[in-house]
Amino acid sequence: MKRAVIGLTILMGLWLILGMIVPGLPVAQEVTSDEASATPAVTSEPTRSETEAALYPMSHERKELLISYSQFTNQWRFISFGLGILTLAILLVTGLSAKFRTWAYKARRRFFVIFIFFALIMIADYLLNFPASYYRNFVIEHEYGFSNQTFQAWLWDDIKGLLITLVLGVFPVWFFYWLVGYMKRWWLAFTLGAIPFIIALVVVAPVVISPLFNDFTKIEDPQLESRLLELAGRAGIDDPAVLQVNASEQSSKLNAYVTGLFGTKRIVLYDTMIDNFTYDEILFVMGHEMGHYVMNHVWWGVGITIVFMLFALWLMDLLIHPVIRRFRRAFKFDSLEDIASLPLVLIFVSIITFAFQPVTNSASRYMEHQADIYGMEIAGVPGETAAIAFDKLSVFNLSDPNPPELVEFWFYSHPALSKRMEFVRSYQPTGQL
């Protein structure tokens, strides 16, 4: 999905939903899973895979890779933000946005005008960002031993992401410009109107969008399935689908999640995690993820998204009009109502989103901490085992357990792994679940 999807996620505030509430999509994420062993190992547990034996415990060479990858990732956060603003600015100052608007108006119906214009903007943005996307998501991921995809497979996933953006994105963009042309407080109406769209996306994404990128199948290990269903029963999650996903076809990174609303509840494990973690470690992972579900973090996430979207769009409306008046000749449009203003809208909301990440990420880190507590309680894991599991995440995903404080504060949606390890080592379960 890469940069093209960011256009939609920024506009809708769906960056939070896609990154936290609807995991499993091929978007860049922080490490999301936590794990630990619950009871003494049993003889039926899987043996250590060749991958685990090679990577864990961490070797000196692996640690050097972790340091290098973490440094690159921290730098790339700022580089990618700057490149995103730059490419949108190019679309504005070169007059491409205005030219695309002129071409789009050859269509008669307003909706098709919006669709043509949006498609041209997203395709142009995709092409301008393609070199950086290729470098970050293909070259670097191969260089550090994560990606298992050929260029053709990676490119096809990337293009599928763009196509999904075009199909889903046209509706909020059309709604946005319809409201801007008809009411002063469009930002309030847009946010309220986006609520059913957001909820629908949370329901539909796990069963419609995610399978476009991976195969989701019934978990192959019946004993593991039985233990996960037992854990779900203790958590009060009735009749979830227990699935494994062939994430290893794309990357060696590890993850797992519980997602869905209403009839789309599903427990999902990456095959990479099944291959490299014991049953009890997986139970702790899922105890944490079930905590998100049971404590209604999905709905809290939706609420945070809606509140932030309202604030971001209100602030954008406050600031954007003087900029349009000042640069109307260069931009070749003179009002927000003009669809050619879309790149400028995305620039403003991108900057606002970037600036307020500490606020939204703080809320996310709080929910992650609560899920850690829930995982410890429901899975009954020893603290040291949970800490070892966090350490495994660090080793396998090259996740820095001790990021700089500013980086964690600004960018991390999860507490630093070292802090989580320290917490689980000292936590004493209350047995109240």
Burial of 400 (0-12, 13-18, 19+ CB in 10 A): buried
Q: 269 burial class (0-12, 13-18, 19+ CB within 10 angstroms)?
A: buried
Query: Which residue out of 35, 281, 289, 368 is catalytically annotated?
Result: 289
Q: CB-based burial of residue 163 (10 Å sphere; 0-12 exposed, 13-18 middle, 19+ buried)? A: middle
CA 165/CA 280 separation, integer angstroms: 38
Q: In this structure, what token pair is assigned to residue 102? A: 């002129």
Between strands 216-218 and 241-245, the pairing is antiparallel
C-alpha separations of 424 from 35, 228, 281, 347 in Å? 11, 21, 13, 41
Q: What is the per-residue burial (b if ≥16 Cβ within 10 Å, else e) of 176-214?
A: bbbbbeeeeebbebbbeebeeebbebbbbbbeebbeebb
Token readout for 247 is 């994430």
Tokens coding 214: 């991976």
289 is catalytic: yes
Q: How far is Cα 60 from Cα 39, in angstroms, rounded to an integer? A: 30
Q: How far apart are CA 311 and CA 157, in angstroms?
A: 33
How many angstroms separate the CA atoms of 193 and 198, rounded? 9
Rounded CA-CA distance 376/255 in Å is 18
Active site members: 289
